[in-house]
C-alpha cells in the first residue's frame, strides 16, 4: 500500500494533498470490465477491406525486381500498393520537430534493410485472399552483407545500412557522429584517482509485446476526409506523420483513438496508419491493417539494444572523481526515436551523482536489425542499469557499504550537474535512506543524518576546467526541415550537396520558460 512520508521535505509544500493516498476510480474501468471499451479493431464497417504486407525475409538485400502481375489477378484483390504509390515515401518520425533526416520508406523500393521490412501492401476483400495474393508476388532479392553489431557497424568497410547516413551513425548538430558531454577533465581525474575501474555492459532489444497488436482502420468520411481508428499512443503525432507521408493537409484526417490495448512505447511509430489510409484513398473503401503477433514481434519496433563502457576513477574515501562513458545505441535500420534516446541518455550522465569530471560519447548506430523505438524510460533505463552495477562494484572496490557509497556521491541541492545546470530539489539521499530503512539495511548514524539540502554547492558547484577539443569541419547543412505549407513535390527531394557557408549561430537563448526547456534536444535546430 502507498505510504506517504510527509515528514520528508515537509516545509517545502502545503500539506494539502487531497487526492494522493486515497482511491479514485478510473474513468474507463466500467468499459473494461464490461468489454465495451472500444479498441481500434472493435469497429465493423460496411465493405471493409483488409490490408496485408509482404515483408522482407532478408536482413539486407537489394530489390532487383518486384513482380505483382499474378497477385493483381488473384481473387478478391482490390489494390496492390507499392512504394511508388506512396506520395512521400521517405520519412523520419522526428522530422515533425525538425530533428533528423528522412531515412525510412513506407514501402521499400530499392533495398530492404531489416528482416520484416514492408515491400508491397495488398488490399483484398478478406485477410485470407490478401495472404493468397501475397504468395503470388515475386520479388527478386540480391542478398547483401548485413551487420548486426553496433561496434562492427562502425568499423571501416562495414556494410552501409542506410544510405541517408553512410557512416552508419546518426549525425548530431550537422557535424558529429555521436552526442558528446564534456565536463571537467576525466584524464586528470583518472591520474589522481586511487582506483580506476573499466567495465562493459549491454542490454538486448526488448519487445513490448502489447496484448493488442498495432493496427488501424481507415475509412473515407464525408467531405473528402478520412476517419482513422487507431491503436496509436500518440494520436496527433501519428496524424501529422500521415499528413506528411500522404502529402495532404492534416485536417484531411479525423483520428479516433485513446483506448489502447497496451503500448509501453511500442505504439508511437505510426506503423500502420499511412498504408491503411492510402489503401482507403486508393479503393474508396474502409481498410483495416492489423499486425499479427509474428509481425508485432518481427516488424513492431523493440526497445533498442545498447552497449555501454564505463570507466570510473574513485578515491579511497569513496569519492568518484572521474567518469568516462562510451555507449552505442542500436537504432536498427532506421532512426525512428533512437536519435532522441541518445540525447536523453547524455543529458542523464553521469547518473544522479556529483562527479567533477565527466566525459560522455554516445552513438546512435544503424544496423540491419528491426528499427528500435521508445519504451518506458528509453535512453536512460539501460544506462542506469550499467551505472548502478558500476556503483556496486566501485563500493566493493573501496570497501564502502553500497548504500552509503551512493549517499556519499549523490547530488545535493546547489551542486553543478554535468550538463551545467544547478541541481535543485534533489532527493536521492532521502530515497536511499528510506530504502535502507525499509530493507532493514544498517546505515551509520552519520550517514543517516546526511541530507540533500546540506553540504551541497560551494566547491561542488564549480565547473572544473574543461579542455576544448578541436571541432570537426562542419559539413554542408544536410538536415532537412519539414515545412507544413504544402510544398510542390520538387522541393521535397534533398538538395544536392553544395558548399554552403556555415549556418548562422543560433540566436541567444531566450529567457527560460517552458517553451525552451528541451533546447538541448534540438541543438542548433531550435527555432
Looking at the Cβ atoms of 23 and 504, the one nearer to another protein is 23
3-state SS track over 331-380: EECCCCCHHHHHHHHHHHCCCCECCCCEEEEEEEEECCCCCCECCCCCCC
Q: CB under 8 Å to 424, separation ≥6 — which residues? A: 413
Tell me if 30 contacts another protein by CB under 8 A: yes
- In the three-class reduction of DSSP (H, G, I as helix; E, B as strand; rest coil), residue 387 is classed as helix
Binding span for another protein by CB under 8 A among 18-26, 359-367, 385-393, 409-417: 18-26
Binding span for another protein by CB under 8 A among 103-111, 161-169, 257-265, 483-491: 257-265
Q: Restricting to residues 202-221, which ones interact with another protein according to CB under 8 A?
A: 208-213
Single out the residue of 95, 232, 290, 480 in contact with another protein (rule: CB under 8 A): 290
Binding span for another protein by CB under 8 A among 3-11, 259-267, 278-286, 498-506: 259-267
Looking at the Cβ atoms of 291 and 418, the one nearer to another protein is 291
316-to-222, 286, 400, 422, 434 alpha-carbon distances in Å: 73, 69, 9, 27, 26
Using only the alpha carbons of the chain, give its radius of gyration: 26
DSSP string, 511-527: PP-GGGTTHHHHGGG--
Q: CB under 8 Å to 270, separation ≥6 — which residues? A: 93, 232, 234, 237, 238, 241, 242
Tell me if 31 contacts another protein by CB under 8 A: yes
Which position has the grid cell 481498410?
287
Q: What is the closest distance, in whole angstroms, from the C-beta atom of residue 170 to another protein in the complex?
A: 30
Tell me if 46 contacts another protein by CB under 8 A: no
Q: What is the grid cell recorded at 280?
A: 482507403
**First vs last Cα of the chain: how many Å apart?**
46
Q: CB under 8 Å to 107, separation ≥6 — which residues? A: 81, 82, 83, 85, 86, 89, 118, 119, 120, 121, 275
Enclosing H/E stretch for 350: none
Looking at the Cβ atoms of 18 and 44, the one nearer to another protein is 44
104: phi then psi, degrees, rounded to nearest 5: -130, 120
d(CA 7, CA 437): 14
Tell me if 309 contacts another protein by CB under 8 A: no
Looking at the Cβ atoms of 95 and 290, the one nearer to another protein is 290
Q: What is the closest distance, in whole angstroms, from the C-beta atom of residue 131 to another protein in the complex?
A: 12
d(CA 189, CA 252): 58
Tell me if 38 contacts another protein by CB under 8 A: yes
Tell me if 26 contacts another protein by CB under 8 A: yes
- In the three-class reduction of DSSP (H, G, I as helix; E, B as strand; rest coil), residue 461 is classed as helix
Looking at the Cβ atoms of 240 and 269, the one nearer to another protein is 269
Single out the residue of 33, 84, 439, 515 in contact with another protein (rule: CB under 8 A): 33
Looking at the Cβ atoms of 264 and 518, the one nearer to another protein is 264
520-to-146, 151, 172 alpha-carbon distances in Å: 33, 26, 11
Single out the residue of 32, 155, 254, 376 in contact with another protein (rule: CB under 8 A): 32
Q: What is the closest distance, in whole angstroms, from the C-beta atom of residue 29 to another protein in the complex?
A: 5
Tell me if 2 contacts another protein by CB under 8 A: no
Q: What is the closest distance, in whole angstroms, from the C-beta atom of residue 268 to another protein in the complex?
A: 15
Binding span for another protein by CB under 8 A among 34-42, 96-104, 218-226, 269-277: 34-42
Tell me if 28 contacts another protein by CB under 8 A: yes
**Total residues contacting another protein (rule CB under 8 A)?**
34
Binding span for another protein by CB under 8 A among 20-28, 150-158, 274-282, 502-510: 20-28
Q: What is the closest distance, in whole angstroms, from the C-beta atom of residue 334 to another protein in the complex?
A: 25
Looking at the Cβ atoms of 42 and 388, the one nearer to another protein is 42
Q: What is the grid cell recorded at 490?
A: 520538387
Chain-centre distance of CA 100, in angstroms? 13
Q: What is the closest distance, in whole angstroms, from the C-beta atom of residue 33 to another protein in the complex?
A: 4
232-to-119, 235, 261, 263, 275 alpha-carbon distances in Å: 22, 6, 10, 8, 14
Single out the residue of 3, 4, 12, 35 in contact with another protein (rule: CB under 8 A): 35
Q: Restricting to residues 117-156, which ones interact with another protein according to CB under 8 A?
A: 128
Q: What is the closest distance, in whole angstroms, from the C-beta atom of residue 235 to another protein in the complex?
A: 16
d(CA 451, CA 427): 8
Contacts to another protein by CB under 8 A: 23, 25-26, 28-39, 41-42, 44, 128, 208-213, 259-264, 290, 292-293
Amino acid at each position: 500500500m502507498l505510504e506517504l512520508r510527509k515528514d520528508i521535505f515537509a516545509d517545502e509544500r502545503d500539506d494539502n494533498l487531497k487526492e494522493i493516498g486515497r482511491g479514485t476510480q478510473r474513468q474507463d474501468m466500467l468499459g473494461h470490465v464490461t468489454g465495451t471499451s472500444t479498441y481500434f479493431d472493435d469497429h465493423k464497417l460496411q465493405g471493409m477491406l483488409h490490408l496485408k504486407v509482404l515483408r522482407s525475409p532478408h536482413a539486407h538485400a537489394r530489390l532487383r525486381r518486384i513482380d505483382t502481375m499474378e497477385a493483381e489477378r488473384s481473387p478478391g484483390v482490390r489494390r496492390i500498393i507499392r512504394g511508388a504509390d506512396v506520395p512521400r515515401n521517405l520519412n523520419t518520425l522526428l522530422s515533425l520537430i525538425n530533428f533528423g533526416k528522412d531515412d525510412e520508406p513506407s514501402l521499400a523500393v530499392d533495398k530492404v534493410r531489416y528482416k520484416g521490412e514492408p515491400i508491397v501492401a495488398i488490399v483484398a476483400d478478406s485477410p485470407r485472399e490478401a495472404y493468397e495474393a501475397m504468395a503470388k508476388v515475386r520479388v527478386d532479392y540480391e542478398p547483401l552483407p548485413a551487420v548486426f553489431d553496433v561496434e562492427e557497424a562502425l568499423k571501416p568497410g562495414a556494410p552501409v545500412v542506410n544510405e541517408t547516413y553512410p557512416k552508419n551513425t546518426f549525425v548530431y548538430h550537422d557535424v558529429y557522429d555521436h552526442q558528446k558531454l564534456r565536463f571537467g577533465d576525466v584524464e586528470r581525474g583518472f591520474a589522481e584517482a586511487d582506483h580506476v575501474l573499466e567495465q562493459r555492459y549491454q542490454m538486448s532489444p526488448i519487445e513490448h509485446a502489447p496484448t493488442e497488436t498495432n493496427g488501424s482502420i481507415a475509412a473515407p468520411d464525408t467531405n473528402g476526409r478520412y476517419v482513422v481508428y487507431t491503436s496509436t499512443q500518440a494520436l496527433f503525432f501519428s496524424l501529422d506523420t500521415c499528413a506528411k507521408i500522404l502529402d495532404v493537409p492534416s485536417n484531411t484526417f479525423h483520428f479516433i483513438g485513446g483506448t489502447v490495448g497496451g503500448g509501453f512505447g511500442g505504439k508511437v511509430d505510426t506503423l500502420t496508419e499511412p498504408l491503411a489510409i492510402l489503401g482507403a484513398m486508393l479503393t474508396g473503401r474502409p481498410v483495416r491493417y492489423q499486425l499479427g503477433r509474428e509481425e508485432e514481434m518481427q516488424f513492431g519496433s523493440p526497445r533498442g539494444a545498447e552497449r555501454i563502457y564505463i570507466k570510473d576513477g574513485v578515491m579511497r574515501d569513496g569519492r568518484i572523481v572521474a567518469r568516462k562513458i562510451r555507449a552505442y545505441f542500436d537504432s536498427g535500420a532506421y532512426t525512428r526515436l533512437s536519435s532522441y534516446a541518445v540525447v536523453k541518455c547524455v543529458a542523464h550522465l553521469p547518473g544522479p551523482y556529483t562527479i567533477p569530471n565527466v566525459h560522455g560519447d554516445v552513438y546512435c548506430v544503424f544496423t540491419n536489425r528491426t528499427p528500435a523505438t521508445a519504451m518506458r524510460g528509453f535512453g536512460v533505463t539501460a544506462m542506469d542499469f550499467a551505472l548502478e552495477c558500476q556503483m556496486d562494484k566501485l563500493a566493493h572496490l573501496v570497501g564502502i557499504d553500497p548504500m552509503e557509497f551512493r549517499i556519499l556521491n549523490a547530488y545535493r541541492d546547489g551542486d553543478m550537474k554535468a550538463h551545467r545546470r544547478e541541481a535543485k530539489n534533489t532527493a536521492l539521499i532521502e530515497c536511499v535512506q528510506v530504502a535502507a530503512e525499509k530493507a532493514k539495511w544498517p546505515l551509520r548514524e552519520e550517514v543517516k543524518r546526511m541530507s540533500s539540502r546540506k553540504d551541497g554547492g560551494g566547491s561542488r558547484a564549480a565547473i572544473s576546467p574543461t579542455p576544448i577539443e578541436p571541432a570537426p569541419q562542419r559539413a554542408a547543412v544536410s538536415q532537412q526541415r519539414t515545412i507544413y505549407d504544402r510544398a510542390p513535390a520538387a522541393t521535397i527531394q534533398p538538395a544536392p550537396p553544395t558548399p554552403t557557408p556555415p549556418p548562422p549561430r543560433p540566436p541567444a537563448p531566450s529567457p527560460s520558460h517552458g517553451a525552451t526547456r528541451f533546447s538541448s534536444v534540438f541543438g542548433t535546430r531550435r527555432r
